[in-house]
Structure 1
């Protein structure tokens, strides 16, 4: 139970003013612009868009600025704003095989049609602080970029030709929208993937890491990781055809996992899948590993009791906004609740002392 505190409104107003002052910082330092955040902190912007379930780099950058760099607070702001937006319809599934790839790698096949495209990545850096960035700023050298075919087939298609990997049947059903409907269990794979796509990156990473350490039955290879722009289209009934709404950048990961077979399925490889807004490699790989771990039942595997195999545990605890709200509410006033607990403890202590006196006398 929350109780009003006299003078609380004025204190809150002062706290807001102090927050604004802290957000701005030293006024002798140039103010950080939305454009700077959008262009130079792209990975943070991408995470806010992905976990906020809204693709808008400008709004994500604004949320990061307003939240003073607290990404979970920024995600909260984006989700809250998203609830105010009308929904006009659903877009068609994006065709990632037609992605304009800026990065495309495979850990399973060296020679790929279109080649391996390293793109912008930290993978080959030395992880040493570059003090030149602080002293001289950043010097840009634009590298030559190899041409990538317009249509880039997925690596798993090569395995599929030989029947070595489980075929994924397309579904005609539209999954529920988690931004408008609460999560309900049991959840099918499409709903689980939607939940994982907006789950906290750190939580998803931890779950994925647990599967690699043996808390699950997956031994995954990155079949393909690709990043690039894809077109978003929407069918317009009045026109009778689909129109192009624009492009979004996404990261897609397909993992290839060993499967020894079951009573209904022959030995073959199976897939884990991850798709996230923007360049978000760590999240998409983690998502694909957890996706595969959650498929144990449909594949006829044994549940070894691993946390990543427990859909309720993963899906209900992965939402950082829900977790933050539940955790941080305990710092708000609970005066009445605590007083009742205090009186209970005092009563129990009195009763214990009253029982102890006769025992001492004996």
Structure 2
């Protein structure tokens, strides 16, 4: 009777294949590393395919890389978490093939981030910044143009300012310390190829990334305005969500809304905003009656001949205390006049989605039929409702 096979009796390729099933389970792979020298030899490279470096394990990581620099070449997913103010990355951080780079809770620029970007420039496919402070936001937003293989660029809950600026925010301005970018997602959409035949157009610096979804808040939209000037020519889908403090900044503090004049290839535009209930609360008295006047300004700012624009959507988030009168904060008749112009020959649909407004559906429908009559007559108007999220 033959003795049972041990792991060491298996062909090396088969043993590695078995360990590959544990990829992503760092605890199990760590246990495998402690089992034997043979298991350690094969399990450690798999363990390093997805790693998170934080202040707690930073010293151990650096010591390991100095002893076994070849492990760096196995990293495919790297998360840098809270490494602001830490020692510089080791010289052994040789050229790698990182595919996913996530940066969490850090001040940018940062030497660890720069090292990872420079050593994996041609292989990074996904780049994510979360809870970060960007002292040089223009440089951070331009990173996609340096990464030829990038498929996804995301920014979540981050500031387009340094941490010092945020900490020294004026206390009398509400929301000034809020993240400027609640979320930003720049991805590709191969379903609609970009048309480069239009005169004056140029490729998006970010390669094939042409779908931009962004949620803005706070009072620092100047950087985003410049970003749209640079990235606009290549976008064919733009989705902007203006938070309450972004609305405050534009209606009360006089901030200028983003300009869309460079979005010459735009096919779809969606704008989301919040409606304030008409109540006697003191803090609402700061707002003008038409505090959403920046939305017609956005539409007027579209290119003079926006020949490819097919869909425009508006999502209005209504308070539970809201009424149809809250919709008057936006001059819908002006919106209808802008979109009915001949400069949008390809326009096929204008949608208005009301989030909330429970029990007011028939009143709101009548409101829009009247205010956007010019679009309704052309069969362009579509109304939808959804519950509070």
| Short-chain TM bin | under 0.3
Greater strand fraction, Structure 1 or Structure 2: 2
Greater helix fraction, Structure 1 or Structure 2: 1
TM-score (norm 2): 0.22
Compare relative contact order (CA 8 Å, sep 6+) and give the higher one, 1 or 2: 1
TM-score (norm 1): 0.23
